[in-house]
Every structure is written in structure tokens, then in C-alpha cells.
Amino acid sequence: MKKDLIFEGNEKRIYAVDDPNQVLFHFNDVVVAYNGVKRARLKGKGILANKISSILLGYLNECGVSTHFIERVDDREQLCRKIEIIPLEVVVHNRMAGTLAAKLGVEDGFKPVNTVVDLCYNNDELGDPLVNRDQAVALSLATYEDLDKMLVMARKAGSLLTELFHKAGIELVDCKIEFGRASDTGEIIISDEISPDTCRLWDEQTQERLDKDRFRLDLGDVIPAYTQVLERLESLQ
């Protein structure tokens, strides 16, 4: 049973439920970019993000990579394990695109010979800056042991998602993965969402962008692209 609202953001609301170790995520019809500088309301976007994230997080659970996802409740809501947020993001890059490409002076979409993994401080006021392991520990964001676990999990999740999207004819360019400590066990698990809001997804044949870059860069309507991602993933089930 949905109870008190415990968090309200642009794209999601989180509610307490009867079980103190669980929460309910409600996905809003809002899309934001550049840490909230650009914002719009798009009818049906929350439904698409909820369904896509449910598929992807459920898939990771099935493959042995623990996430906070328990089950999708309805079109807009999913039941999740309650976590203590670790304020770090791990970004897995199969290509260099967006900010990373600009910082390194390479063409947008540059494909390196390796998988690039970045660690970022999840802090909107600071612009989510890159940090190294020592800096993360110095700021008491995580321990070295925590970071080792997170990086291994992020690489495995990136590899599994790359394979899944490939089956759907989609290239996973990069993905942002967040983590938390489960309130019941204290284990580190993947949290938040994995969707076109947090991944760059390109059609393998046409290189059409099927993610939030359509909104960031004014490339066209987001909803048909997200719908296409959902339909392709559903066709694999």
C-alpha cells in the first residue's frame, strides 16, 4: 500500500509502503537535461521510462547483477528495495559521445578499442564532476572496497545491456549507473533507473538517436523514439 511521499524530483516520486525495506517509484511525464536547466512535460514519457527500466533492471537481476527493482506494479509505478544512496555515478562508455567526446577533443561517437568507465560525483550543484578513487574515498562517498564492487558490477551490467540491446538492433553507446546500499542487507546494489533517460542508444543500422539526446539537442520528438526502444525490447521477451 502506497503511503507517505518521501522524495519528489522532476522525473520521479518515491513513496513509502507497508514494508519498511521497500519503496514505490512513480514515474512522471517530465524530461530534464543539463541538470534541470532544460525541462519539458511529455505525455506518456513516464509510462515508457517505467516499462523500459523494469525490463532492463529485471534482466540484470536475472543475470545475477543485483538491483533495487522488485516488480512493475502498473504503467507508472514499480516496487523497489529501499536503499541508502551512494552519491556516485559510474558511466560505462562503448563510444565517446556528448560531453566526454568534447572534453577529449574526439569526434562525437568515437569508438575506442576499450570500454571506458568514468566515476562521477553525483552532485548537481557541482555539475556531477569526474572524480578518481582516492577523491571519492577522501570525500567519504565510498570505501575502496565499495568502489571495487561498484566498478565490477557496472562493467558487467554494461556488457549484459550491450548484448541485450544488440539483439534488439540498438547500440548501447553509454549508460549511467547509480548505486545504493540495501536497507535490509547493506549490500551494494544498482539503483534508480536504466532507460533512454540514462543511456545513449543508437539504431545500429541508421545511427538514429533513440534516447534523451533527442531532447537535449532538439533532434525531434522523444516519445516515438522511446516507444521504439520499448517495442524492440518487448519483442525479445
What digits encode the pLDDT tens for the residues 79-123? 999 999 999 999 999 999 999 999 999 999 999 999 999 999 999
Domains, the chain, with CATH or none: 5-234 (3.30.470.20)
The 3-state DSSP class for residue 98 equals coil
The answer to whether the CB of 141 falls within 8 A of the CB of 128 is no
**CA-CA-CA-CA torsion sign (52, 153, 33, 76):** positive
Contact between 166 and 78 under an 8 Å Cβ cutoff? The reply is no
- Rounded average pLDDT over 28-54: 95
- Count of other CB atoms within 10 angstroms of residue 117: 15
For the entire predicted model, the pTM comes to: 0.96
Q: pLDDT band for 142, please (50, 70, 90 cuts).
A: very high
